[in-house]
Amino acid sequence: MFGAAPLRLMLALCALASATHDVCIKDGVFGTCVNIVNCPSAVAGIHKSHKMPKICRFEQMEPIVCCFDNVRTSTATTFSPKSFQEPTTIDDYDYYHENIEEKTCKPVPPELTAPRTGQKAWDKCLEYQEKLVYPCEMSQDLSSVTKWERRTKCYRIADGLIVGGKDAAKNEFSHMALLGYGKGSGENIHWLCGGSLISDKFILTAGHCIADRIYGVVTFAYLNLLNRSEIADNSPNKYGIKTIIKHPGYQSPNKYNDIALLELDRRVHLDEYTVPACLPVSDHMKDDVAMATGWGLTAYEGSTSNALQKVRESMKR
């Protein structure tokens, strides 16, 4: 925590560090003492994991930290005893830094969100929106003052009525998953169906997508994908299917209750490029038009699309 609350941490000070760009060391790796605003990795560490960098000293209340950006380690590198001395650890130290604010941001503007209702699916949707779509992030102004503010990371493109389908933009539908069938890797996996990520562990899909009559049950899911040509066996976006949960009332080939859940083999790292879809919480749909997305057929009995496609469809009967 920064700002009004003091931060307790172990400080390692270089006894002979008297100017910026002096040499420092941490865990056997040599770094350079620089102002924290000039060390992106230190700022990122505070932002992402609240991990404080090693402090060399303070200059006019500005922390000078041991920075390892653009520093290459080498056993052949030597330093003069006059230019470097092993840091010594002193007692816990409380300090206030007036230029780094506590991690707090204003709420998401009311025109971009909605109140929580106590319904789990709805409130979870708002949580994802607050953390992933309009996150609170560290920034710096022209005077090098570090502060927290909300960023907009919504990649949805507002289109008019789309007839016949259109390629989606990168990250426009960050919940979409492509489902694979078969064992092994490479050409042995056949990517056929689509699904929607609805949490960090589950994908919602159609009941008829849990198995293919030729290639067997669904075995893989691929996230954060725009084109089929981007698929790579060693990608962290490729997940195994741990459990298949079909609707108890679904009976193939009938399309009634055509819905299923797929549990992934590990949790998904959610970020601005991988955001779960929001689930409806009302029994009555108020929208007249829906957006359909997928890598399906581009024409009747035609070939499947390489790129993720989108099309608007009327909900009126």
pLDDT, tens digit, 9 for 90 and up, residues 82-94: 444 343 333 333 3
Question: Looking at residue 224, what DSSP letter applies?
Answer: S
Euclidean distance between CA atoms 121 and 138, whole angstroms: 29
What three-state secondary structure class fits 122?
A: helix
Give residue 7's pLDDT: 31
Residues of the chain with pLDDT under 50: 1-19, 72-101, 160-163
Spell out the domains of the chain, with CATH numbers in brackets: 7-95 (no CATH), 110-150 (no CATH), 166-314 (2.40.10.10)
pLDDT at position 230: 93
Tokens of 48: 């992402």
Residue 155: the pLDDT is 65
Who contacts 111 (Cβ-Cβ below 8 Å, separation ≥6)? none
Spatial separation of the C-alpha atoms in residues 246 and 238, rounded to whole Å: 22
Name beta bridge partners: 260: 205, 246
